[in-house]
Amino acid sequence: MIWYPYEQMKTMKEPYKIIDAEGVFLKTPEREMIDSVSSWWSVIHGYKHPALTAAIKEQADQFSHVMLGGLVHEPVQRLADKLQQFLPGDLNYSFFSDSGSVAVEVALKMALQYYVNQGKQKRTKVLALTHAYHGDTFKTMEVGDDEDYHFILEAYGEKKNALHIPSKIPALEEAFEKYHQELNCFLVEPLLQGAGGMRMYDLSFLVRARQLCDQYGVLLIFDEVATGFGRTGNRFVADLVLPDILVLGKALTGGYIGHAVTVANQKVYEGFYSDDTKKALMHGPTFMGNALACSVALKSIELFEQENYMAKIRRIEEITRREMDGFMDPRIAEVRILGGCVCVEVKDPGVLKGYQQFAYEHGVFSRPFLNCLYAMVPYIITEEELVKVLATMKAWFGER
């Protein structure tokens, strides 16, 4: 018996059974539908991409996995080299893990130990944003701020080591002034807060955060698990403001297989580099650096570069802006668009009840959450397919 994610099993509706998937399409026994969610924002090249599938098959013929403890292999070496060249600044040190949540955990452990290694035991607090989402493991729930996902944590009482502020510069300045001696890092989903409600905010906030982190010696961590690889219309938000630690997941493998990476800069890496074994980073997920995952990630990045994905994403944004221009309804609070993400925020989440089935009948897969009706489509989508996704969203309001 399968226990499904984020579901009350007693009342959950029957899931759609997928028997095949290709390009932007998911196929059920009775129809095909455009996946407007990209399988939780990861399948950027679409399903059954020949080059990605070939990369996995070729590697599987050699070996699928060897552990990274005391062993190394070409796929992981090549991916680490590729990331070093592909990522901005001195984000050069790649620590691999099996999921975004774990990669955020690793980043938080790095930030805490960075100071512990300097004898600074008091810097235990993490500054984060209200409505932040960083994963579902315990520490990521603590630094997250979303009662809908993580209300269970209330059983522990007040969060001791996490502070939350809105994405507004005065709140940021006040938090640094008040707590800088206790902070080890400021952790953010840059520009776009995904699972917390597709909230978008201004780059100037991150520019100011970088200044304050430098001024007070606090590490800046970007959780780009969702925003990385072009989703905001930037390759990485880290191209605009450079963090000390960058976390990537979801689209890292083109959505083929679970893998993530925590990338540290020179300064963070040097904070661990020592003759003292106690200063080592004590972490090692069993499947870190999995050879299948690294091979497909490498191929995914190559495609991203060679086939000019940034132009594809700009086109998606243009078409989306054109199609959504002037679209409004009294039940809608706001329509937000950024790069390859569009969100129609409704005033009352009840308005979205029944949308999933409506979309299914129109040949689109959608999964609204909270008060967000959104699309984060695969970047290979055609104009016609994208227009259909957006028209379906608009039709929901038009017909009722």
Ligand X SMILES: *Cc1c(COP(=O)(O)O)cnc(C)c1O
Q: Active-site positions?
A: 6, 133, 223, 250
State the binding string over 207-226 for ligand X (x if CB under 6 A, else -): ----------------x-xx
User: Does residue 312 bind ligand X (CB under 6 A)?
Assistant: no
Beta carbon nearer to ligand X, 23 or 254: 254
Q: Which of 35, 105, 145, 189 binds ligand X (CB under 6 A)?
A: 189
Beta carbon nearer to ligand X, 221 or 226: 226
The residue nearest ligand X at its CB is 100
Distance (Å, whole) CA 109 – CA 281: 8
State the binding string over 62-101 for ligand X (x if CB under 6 A, else -): -------------------------------------xxx
Beta carbon nearer to ligand X, 146 or 223: 223
Give the interface segment with ligand X, choosing from 49-57, 118-126, 130-138, 378-386 (CB under 6 A).
Answer: 130-138
Q: Which of 190, 194, 233, 285 binds ligand X (CB under 6 A)?
A: 194
Distance (Å, whole) CA 49 – CA 256: 10
- DSSP-based three-state secondary structure for 338: strand
Residues 300-325 as b/e (b if ≥16 CB within 10 A, e otherwise) read bbebbeeeebeebbeebbebbeebbe
Structure tokens at 169: 């510069």
Give the interface segment with ligand X, choosing from 118-126, 188-196, 231-239, 330-338 (CB under 6 A).
Answer: 188-196
What are the φ/ψ torsions at residue 334 (nearest 5 degrees)? Answer: -165, 150
User: Does residue 133 bind ligand X (CB under 6 A)?
Assistant: yes
User: Does residue 134 bind ligand X (CB under 6 A)?
Assistant: yes
Place of tokens 């000019």: 308
Distance (Å, whole) CA 366 – CA 363: 10
- Least gap, CB of 226 to ligand X (angstroms): 3
User: Does residue 56 bind ligand X (CB under 6 A)?
Assistant: no
Q: How far is the first Cα of the chain from the last one, in angstroms, to the nearest whole number?
A: 37
DSSP 217-238: T-EEEEE-TTTTTTTTSSS-GG
Beta carbon nearer to ligand X, 159 or 250: 250
Beta carbon nearer to ligand X, 41 or 114: 41
Distance (Å, whole) CA 91 – CA 239: 11
Distance (Å, whole) CA 362 – CA 389: 9
- Strand runs (DSSP E) across 296-338, as ranges? 332-338
Other beta carbons within 10 angstroms of residue 329's beta carbon come to 15
Q: Which of residues 247-266 bind ligand X (CB under 6 A)?
A: 249-250
Query: How far is CA 176 from each of CA 116, 165, 245, rounded to the nearest angstrom?
Result: 20, 11, 19
Place of tokens 């070093």: 84
CA 373 to chain centre: 18
Beta carbon nearer to ligand X, 146 or 317: 146
User: Does residue 135 bind ligand X (CB under 6 A)?
Assistant: yes
User: Does residue 376 bind ligand X (CB under 6 A)?
Assistant: no
Beta carbon nearer to ligand X, 75 or 285: 285
User: Does residue 339 bind ligand X (CB under 6 A)?
Assistant: no
Residues 142-165 as b/e (b if ≥16 CB within 10 A, e otherwise) read bbbbbeebbeeeeeeeebeebbbb
- Least gap, CB of 133 to ligand X (angstroms): 6
Q: Which of 91, 107, 172, 195 binds ligand X (CB under 6 A)?
A: 195
- Least gap, CB of 195 to ligand X (angstroms): 5
- Least gap, CB of 224 to ligand X (angstroms): 8
Q: How many residues in the shown chain lie near ligand X by CB under 6 A?
A: 15
Residue numbers at the binding site for ligand X (CB under 6 A): 99-101, 104, 133-135, 189, 194-195, 223, 225-226, 249-250
